[in-house]
Each structure stands twice: as structure tokens, then as C-alpha cells.
């Protein structure tokens, strides 16, 4: 083939625990005709996989212990790495480290899919070594590519998004809006939900009757009590994990999306929110600024930790939705329409082909 890829590629894919995001990342890779098989190294069995992919099982005695399962996964990967043409690490700390060590041990090319912030990885010596030693890297946006080059990375880089097609789900009329703010992410330290609640407490002085919906696993534990202590318990609804249809309905009945992450590559939930016409208020991390083109009708980005600035940004976006709801939604949806091709499965598959070709060529050279 013109890009130099051979048929029958066997890939080891080191992944995290999110079923939905795993399938999103594997689908474009599995769609390449040159790929014969993808072995997924993951703690627990995925709920579904593409036809070419299979889960490399971790014995049940290890599976439910984080330390034991990580160690056993590393052993299985290192022992069998010689049978693969390529190792892909879905880079969230240990996943990328195991890919780096195993690929190096077996002399195989390693592609690191840097799904979180490049700067976050650079601040951690082991993560930085694993990322910068990769044969090639996939990143979430142009800002991450620039940061990786500035850090001295010389290999191939491609922007690899998660595929997403906007559903034909109309936004609710302004009179049927239920929430001023929606946040969508499972609980994790990097998402910084405690700061989000501080932002909402500051917002209360500007918008005393606001309503916020927080969606994701693990949010109620500890956060509900903090919300009450901050005086916003009656303003915040914890929805837990939602089905796709329920999440889409929640987007359609909300006015503004909020993310307060301290480290982020590019939040997929923000892409989804834009497709429903929701302007996004986000921390200025990763490629969030690129996603909404800085400060405008499609969104605002604010330095992480600046509570008053973030509360003001949310207030402005929600206020615009009340004052001119059609214009506010058109601006956000318009930004998504510009980006939509980059998030198509075909476009992402093309970028995977270029990235893999670059990795194999460098390794062969």
C-alpha cells in the first residue's frame, strides 16, 4: 500500500476502565483493513469489543485488586509482547508505562495515545519518560502536539479524537429548559469536583435560583455533604451514571456545560455538549481553549482555581442563553459543525493509518 502498511497487523492495546471510551478508541483502529487482531490488556472484561478485538483475561484472583491486577497485566503483556507488531498505550499513567516497558523489552514500536494533558505527564518523571520514548504519539488536539514537540519529542504525531456523531436529538424549547448547568464526568481527582462546587457557591451570589445537574459515577460520595456545607445543596442534582438517551435528554434541557478539570486532554463530554448547542465553561487545560476557540459565544476558558472568574464565565454563558437562546445555541452548535469532520470515524481511521505507518517506519529504520 502507498502508506507502507502491511496486512495482518497484530496490536497489543493497553487500556483503562471506561467501557464507552474504550470502544470509541478501538473502533477506528479495528476498521483498518490492515489490522488483523487487537488484544486488549485491561483489568476487567469489557462490555463489548469490535469484531477484531479480544480481552486478554486477567485471572479473577487478581482482577479486583488494583495493585495485583496492574502487576499481573504487566507480566502478561511483557511475556507476550514479542508476538505483536505494535503496542498501543492508552496513556493514563500506568497504561502508558506498561506499554513503554513491554515494547522496549520486546523491541516493538510503541504508540502512546496521550488522552490526558501532556503537561500533566511531563510533571511526572516516569510518565514523561514513557511518553517521550514512544515511537509515535496520538494526542487530543493541536495544543498537545505543540507541547510535545516543545518537550523534544521527534517521532510521528497525529491528533486522534474519539469518534462522535451528533445524534438527531432536538434541543428543548427555552421554556422547557430544566438546568442552567450540566457537568458530565465520573468522579476522579483530576476532574476537581470540589472546586466545581466552590464555583457554584460563588455563582449563587450572581444567580440565586440556578439549577445544576452533575452526571457521573461516584459523585454522591462526599460531594453531597460538601454541597450542603457550601450552601448549594438545594441547587445541585446528582444524577449518577445516565444511559445515552437520558444523557442526551439532559443535554437538550440544559443551558451551559461546565468542566473544572485540573488536568485534561480534551473532554469528550464538551464535544457532546457543543453538538447540542451548549456553550462550555472550562478550565484552561489541555486543548479546551482550542475546542471553543478561546472566549466567545461558544465558550469560555478560565485558569484552573480562579473561582470568581469561572463563576463569572458561567453566569455570562447562562445569561446569554436566557437573553438570546437561539443565538447562544447556534454559536455552540456552529463550532461543533466546524469540528465534526475531525470526529468522524473515517477521518480518525485515516490518522491512525498515518500514525502506525510512521511508527513502523521509524522502528524499521
121 and 225 assigned to the same domain? no
- Kindly state whether residues 136 and 219 are assigned to the same domain: no
Residue 4 in any domain: the answer is: no
Query: 3-state class of 130 per DSSP?
Result: helix
Residue 124 lies in a domain: yes
Let me know whether 118 and 202 are in one domain: no
149 domain residue, yes or no? yes
CA distances from 339 to 190, 227, 240, 268 (A): 26, 35, 29, 13
Q: Kindly state whether residues 131 and 113 are assigned to the same domain.
A: yes
Tens-binned pLDDT, residue by residue, of the chain (365 aa): 345 688 999 999 998 767 888 999 999 999 999 999 999 988 788 888 999 999 987 766 566 666 777 777 778 888 888 899 999 998 776 788 889 988 888 899 999 999 888 998 899 899 999 999 999 999 999 999 999 999 999 999 999 999 998 876 567 776 788 999 999 999 989 999 999 999 999 999 999 999 999 999 999 888 999 999 999 999 999 999 999 999 999 999 999 999 999 999 999 999 999 999 999 999 999 999 999 987 788 999 999 999 999 999 999 999 999 998 888 889 999 999 999 999 999 999 999 999 999 999 877 64
Alpha-carbon distances of 18 from 118, 226, 262, 310, 363, rounded to whole Å: 20, 26, 20, 28, 30
For residues 139 and 207, state if they share a domain: no
Closest CA to 93 of 14, 162, 22, 29: 14
Do 158 and 210 fall into the same domain? no
- Residue 83 is given by DSSP the state G
Domain match, 224 and 352 both: no
Same-domain status, 330 and 353:
no
- Examine residue 3 and state whether it is found in any structural domain, yes or no: no
Q: Is the same domain home to 278 and 323?
A: yes
Q: Residues for the chain: how many in total?
A: 365
Which residues are bridge partners to 296 per DSSP? Answer: 299
Looking at the structure, do residues 42 and 145 belong to the same domain, yes or no? yes
Return the DSSP state at 175.
G
Is residue 53 within 8 A of residue 13, CB to CB? The reply is yes
Q: Is 277 a member of any domain?
A: yes
Question: How far apart (Å, rounded) are the C-alpha atoms in residues 282 and 4?
Answer: 40
Determine what percent of the chain falls in helix, strand and coil, rounding each to the nearest 5. Answer: 50, 20, 35
Give me the number of domains the chain comprises: 2
pTM for the predicted model, two decimal places: 0.90
Q: Which domain holds residue 26?
A: 9-163+344-364
Give the CATH number, domain containing residue 131.
3.40.50.2000
Does residue 212 sit within a domain? yes
Domain assignment present for 2: no
Shared domain for 355 and 274, answered yes or no, is no
Question: Are 325 and 178 in the same domain?
Answer: yes
Is 169 domain-assigned?
no
Alpha-carbon torsion, ordered 122, 127, 132, 134, to 10 deg: -150
Amino acid at each position: 500500500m502507498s502508506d507502507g502498511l502491511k496486512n495482518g497487523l497484530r496490536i497489543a492495546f493497553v487500556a483503562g476502565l471506561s467501557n464507552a471510551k474504550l470502544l470509541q478508541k478501538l473502533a477506528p483502529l479495528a476498521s483498518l483493513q490492515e489490522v488483523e487482531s487487537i488484544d486488549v490488556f485491561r483489568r476487567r472484561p469489557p462490555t463489548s469489543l469490535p469484531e477484531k478485538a479480544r480481552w486478554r483475561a486477567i485471572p479473577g484472583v487478581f482482577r479486583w485488586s488494583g495493585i495485583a491486577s496492574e502487576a499481573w497485566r504487566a507480566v502478561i503483556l511483557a511475556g507476550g509482547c514479542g508476538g505483536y507488531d505494535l503496542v498501543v498505550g492508552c496513556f493514563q499513567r500506568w497504561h502508558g508505562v506498561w506499554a513503554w516497558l513491554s515494547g522496549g523489552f520486546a523491541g516493538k514500536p510503541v504508540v502512546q495515545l496521550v488522552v490526558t494533558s501532556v503537561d500533566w505527564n511531563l510533571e511526572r518523571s516516569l510518565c514523561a519518560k514513557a511518553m517521550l520514548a514512544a515511537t509515535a504519539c496520538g494526542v487530543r488536539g493541536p495544543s498537545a502536539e505543540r507541547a510535545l514537540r516543545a518537550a523534544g519529542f521527534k517521532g510521528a504525531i497525529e491528533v486522534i479524537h474519539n469518534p462522535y456523531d451528533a445524534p438527531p436529538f432536538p434541543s428543548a424549547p427555552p421554556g422547557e429548559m430544566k438546568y442552567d448547568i450540566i457537568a458530565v464526568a465520573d468522579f476522579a481527582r483530576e476532574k476537581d469536583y470540589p472546586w466545581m462546587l466552590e464555583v457554584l457557591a460563588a455563582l449563587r451570589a450572581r444567580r440565586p435560583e440556578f439549577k445544576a445537574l452533575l452526571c457521573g459515577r461516584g459523585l454522591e460520595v462526599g460531594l453531597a455533604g460538601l454541597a450542603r456545607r457550601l450552601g448549594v445543596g438545594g441547587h445541585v442534582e446528582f444524577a449518577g451514571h445516565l444511559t445515552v438517551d437520558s444523557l442526551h435528554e439532559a443535554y437538550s434541557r440544559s443551558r451551559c456545560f461546565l468542566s473544572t478539570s485540573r488536568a485534561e486532554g480534551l473532554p469528550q463530554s464538551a464535544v457532546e455538549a457543543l453538538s447540542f448547542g451548549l456553550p462550555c465553561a472550562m478550565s484552561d487545560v489541555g486543548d479546551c481553549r482550542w475546542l471553543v476557540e478561546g472566549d466567545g459565544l461558544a465558550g469560555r476558558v478560565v485558569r484552573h482555581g480562579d473561582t470568581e472568574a469561572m463563576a463569572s464565565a458561567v453566569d455570562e454563558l447562562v445569561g446569554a442563553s436566557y437573553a438570546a437562546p437561539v443565538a447562544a445555541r447556534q454559536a455552540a452548535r456552529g463550532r461543533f459543525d466546524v469540528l465534526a469532520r475531525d470526529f468522524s470515524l473515517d477521518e480518525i481511521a485515516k490518522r491512525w493509518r498515518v500514525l502506525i505507518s510512521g511508527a513502523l517506519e521509524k522502528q524499521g529504520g
